[in-house]
Amino acid sequence: METGIRVLLLTAVLMTLPGCASVRNWFHHRSEVRQQKAEAKEEAAQQDAQAAAADADATPPRVVDPEVERRKIKVPHIRSSNIEIGINDGFISIEDFGTNNAYGLTAAYHITEDFFFQGEYGRAYAGRTSFETLGGNIQLLTSAERQFTYYDISLGYNFLPGETFIGRGHALTTAFYFLGGIGATKFAGDDRFTVNFGGGYRVLPSDWLAIHIQVQDRVFRTDLLGVSKLTNNMEASLGATVFF
């Protein structure tokens, strides 16, 4: 344990050395910049004075002094609209526990036209296994344990961009996308590492609104029914998101 702390302190000291090199500049840099600005101003003033003196010598005083002011252009901030937030509702087939309603929240950040990161959080309520249904009064899980919650962070890839047409006058942009990521599932009183992958179809009725149809498989290992096995939990959902 002491070695750990010693290593910690030593590394801390080592880290601050190069770190200081960059931090130090904050204070010094500011005074340097100020000094440079002052010098530049002085120089400009001197040059102006010289130019004025030269002008006075060379040209006679003007009758009309044109006052042309250059229009200064203020560049307005260009809004970025890369964030997508929304809700979805659908079904999830929880392995051994039947198909159940699932709903959730999604948030995505579009990094390039091809790639985006997406985070999801969802809930479902697991039904009864065949064993429970056939066995009468047997309950494998309590009501609280049947609550199935999951989250994931995925990387998405857009492919097959296109347009879909409604009547003669309307074209909506669309795209298919792949999703793959990692996350966790809380089910039957335990948190499990979960891998998710799937895909979806996105239709944009306007620049700020998107409708999603998404299918994903959530895979995690569980030993709930005696043997340790990988379970596949397919989810299909319909969602709406808003771009910000």
Query: Which residues contribute to the site for another protein (CB under 8 A)?
Result: 1, 4-5, 7-8, 11-12, 14-15, 18-19, 22-23, 25-26, 70-71, 73, 75-76, 78-82, 85-87, 89, 103, 105, 109-115, 117, 153, 155, 158, 160-163, 171, 173, 175, 181-184, 189-193, 204, 206-209, 240, 242-244
- In angstroms, give the least distance from the CB of 141 to another protein: 14
Q: Please list the residues that pair with 121 across neighbouring strands.
A: 105, 151
| Closest CB to another protein among residues 57, 113 | 113
- In angstroms, give the least distance from the CB of 48 to another protein: 23
| Closest CB to another protein among residues 57, 69 | 69
| Closest CB to another protein among residues 52, 171 | 171
Return the H-helix or E-strand segment holding 187. strand 170-187
DSSP 100-168: EEEEEEEEEEE-SSSEEEEEEEEEEE----HHHHHHSS--SS-TTTTEEEEEEEEEEEEEEEEEEEETT
- In angstroms, give the least distance from the CB of 124 to another protein: 11
Rounded distance between C-alpha atoms, residue 191 and residue 198, angstroms: 22
Q: How is residue 219 written in tokens?
A: 């895979």
Return the H-helix or E-strand segment holding 186. strand 170-187
Map residue 62 onto helix, strand or coil.
coil
| Closest CB to another protein among residues 38, 230 | 230
Q: Please list the residues that pair with 87 across neighbouring strands.
A: 105, 240
- In angstroms, give the least distance from the CB of 25 to another protein: 8
| Closest CB to another protein among residues 16, 130 | 16
| Closest CB to another protein among residues 11, 50 | 11
- In angstroms, give the least distance from the CB of 224 to another protein: 13
- In angstroms, give the least distance from the CB of 66 to another protein: 19
Task: Please answer whether residues 218 and 150 qualify as being in contact, where contact means their C-beta atoms are separated by less than 8 angstroms.
Answer: yes
| Closest CB to another protein among residues 78, 166 | 78
Task: Please answer whether residues 96 and 112 qualify as being in contact, where contact means their C-beta atoms are separated by less than 8 angstroms.
Answer: no
- In angstroms, give the least distance from the CB of 15 to another protein: 5
Task: Please answer whether residues 240 and 87 qualify as being in contact, where contact means their C-beta atoms are separated by less than 8 angstroms.
Answer: yes
Task: Please answer whether residues 89 and 241 qualify as being in contact, where contact means their C-beta atoms are separated by less than 8 angstroms.
Answer: no
